[in-house]
Structure 1
Amino acid sequence: MTIFNLGSINWDHCYQVSHFVRPGETLSAQGYHLNLGGKGANQSVAASRAGARVRHIGAVAEGDAALSVLHKLGVETAGIEQQPEQVTGHAIIQIDQNAENAIVLHPGANRALNWPWVEQHLATGGQGDWLLMQNETNLLQQSASYARKRGMQVAFNPAPMDKQITLSLLNELDLLIVNQVELQDLTEETDLEAAIRKIQQQCDTALLITLGKQGALYVNAEGRQQVNAYAVDAVDTTAAGDTFIGYFLASRCLSDDINEAMKQASAAAALCVTQAGAIASIPDATQVNTFMEEHTL
């Protein structure tokens, strides 16, 4: 089984600053880091490190180094188009002395995907495979519909949340992955149970809801399963959600055991937050298995 991830690829330019730049001000940075990120890239790397076969479908500028970085991390990159007239998606991130951030994001090639290219690479998928999407690229509706026709299962993580886009996709989905705030925004319900009922009244998609320190909840027509979060000392939560998603889907490719998939995903996310950075903090399967042997929920 293969996870086809129609996802974003971004370069994050991170600047340590004494304070956020004010209008008309020129400010010298106290530090700088360049990191590969984007929710799509993060989730592809997480699923790959969990042991799944992952084919990323996306776009970058021609000759961009992101291709070699993802390839070295075990992600299949043949589905990433190099677009000579586009720039790779990127973010300018200011981080102040209180660890607060201010971000300017340019989607670049992420929002310039071409349907013939996407269709060509989705055409190699079929029964048992997954299409994973986030809300950082274009062509979501076409891709979901096409994947379902090919017998693939479709998972959608609507981040950043766009209510209209998400509601329009519900009937094409096998799995909707949201955190509690996103679910509340989508349903306009502040009560978790009311929000779940509202989605179930509209479609038959399964729900995977991450609840932060309270763990995660999986709900479908047959019932529900919940796991607690592992207790760890968090350093950086940047890629925790993406790590959870990648590990959950990777486990689902290997087994129908939802509870085990949630436990592995929870362990991976817990390990992730103990390290700084996004992709750099995503653990591999050996680390996750060792962690699970040493810790209990």
Structure 2
Amino acid sequence: MTLWNLGSINADYIYRVPHIPAHGETLTSSGRQVFLGGKGANISVAAARAGAHVRHVGAVGADGRWAVQRLLEYGVDTRQIAEVETETCQAMIFVDPDGENTIILHPGANMAIPPDVLDQALSQAETGDWLVMQNETCLQAEAAALGKDMGLRIAYAAAPFEAARVQAVLDRLDFLTLNAVEADQLHRATGLAPEALPVRDVIVTRGGDGATWFGPDGPAHVAALPVTPVDTTGAGDTFTGYVLAGLDRGLPMKQAMAQAGRAAALMVTRAGTADVIPDLAEVQAFRG
């Protein structure tokens, strides 16, 4: 099957700082790197490296042609990525010595994906394919409605969290992943705990404490591998991409989550985003 990812594409500017900046504070960075990123691109790369057939639907400006080329090099089908007359999204990421981060996004082309690009892409989808989305692009409600009508399986990573945008697609979802803070925010907005949401499979990630699945045979918890983090940026996206790729290959949920947990654990030992997401051979060999 195919994973169709309506996803963001970012240029990630990562700065190493002594601590996360406080209000009004000026810091000197000890290092600066530029990576391919965005929750969408990260999930596409992770799923492709986990063995899935991934077709990315999105947009960049002329300044983002390098990002499209890099996605292609990582095994992602890029034919549904439009070039639009605005700049590619930029993310400013500040990472402290413990690997924790603060991120500022300038959305750019991610919010200018032409509707006809989405329509043309999904016209090629087949019943049973996955449609994956996150909260960093436009057209999510339209995509969810179209995908559901076509018999696609709809997956949603609810970050960056906005309750109204999640609620707009909630009744069309088959799979939802969010972290513990986002799960609490959604609970407050809807009055529904994860196990009560109208979604077949809900996964709440808990960082170093692993992840909990709420589904037909849940709840079930999968522990995280103990590692020393270097950079937590992109770990959640890596987990999501690996889970979806595992499910697409027919793995049971807990097995897909365990494999995804190893991928995320390995990911946090590396500095960077999409460019350093591990492939399946690395993940299978990794034991922490």
TM-score > 0.5 by shorter chain: yes
Which residue of 2 is the match for residue 54 of structure 1?
54
Distance change (3 Å), C-alpha of 1:250 and 1:105: same
Pairing 1:240–2:238 present: no
- Note the aligned Cα RMSD (angstroms): 2.6
Total equivalences in the alignment = 285
The separation in 1 between residues aligned to 2:267 and 2:96, in whole angstroms, is 22
Structural mapping, 1:154-165, within 5 Å: 154-165=154-165
**Preserved CA contact (<8 Å) 1:155 1:176:** yes
Distance change (3 Å), C-alpha of 1:100 and 1:43: closer
Which residue of 1 is the match for residue 5 of structure 2?
5
Q: Secondary structure at the match of 1:237?
A: coil
Structural mapping, 1:15-26, within 5 Å: 15-16=15-16
Give the TM-score normalised by structure 1: 0.87
Which residue of 2 is the match for residue 254 of structure 1?
249
**Preserved CA contact (<8 Å) 1:230 1:267:** yes
Q: How far apart are residue 15 of structure 1 and its match?
A: 3.8
Please identify the structure whose Cα radius of gyration is greater. Answer: 1
Q: Secondary structure at the match of 1:234?
A: coil
Distance change (3 Å), C-alpha of 1:171 and 1:97: closer
Q: Secondary structure at the match of 1:34?
A: strand
**Equivalent position to 1:285, from 277, 280, 286:** 280
Give the TM-score normalised by structure 2: 0.90
Which residue of 2 is the match for residue 76 of structure 1?
77
Deviations 1:57-115 (A, max 9, x none): 000013621111110111110010011x1110002345578877554321000001111
Which residue of 1 is the match for residue 179 of structure 2?
179
Q: How far apart are residue 169 of structure 1 and its match?
A: 0.9
Percent of aligned pairs with the same amino acid? 42
The separation in 2 between residues aligned to 1:89 and 1:133, in whole angstroms, is 17
Q: How far apart are residue 256 of structure 1 and its match?
A: 4.6
The separation in 1 between residues aligned to 2:23 and 2:248, in whole angstroms, is 48
Structural mapping, 1:136-215, within 5 Å: 136-188=136-188, 195-199=193-197, 203-215=198-210
The separation in 2 between residues aligned to 1:275 and 1:24, in whole angstroms, is 27
The separation in 2 between residues aligned to 1:241 and 1:147, in whole angstroms, is 24
Q: Secondary structure at the match of 1:244?
A: helix
Gap regions ≥5 residues in structure 1: none
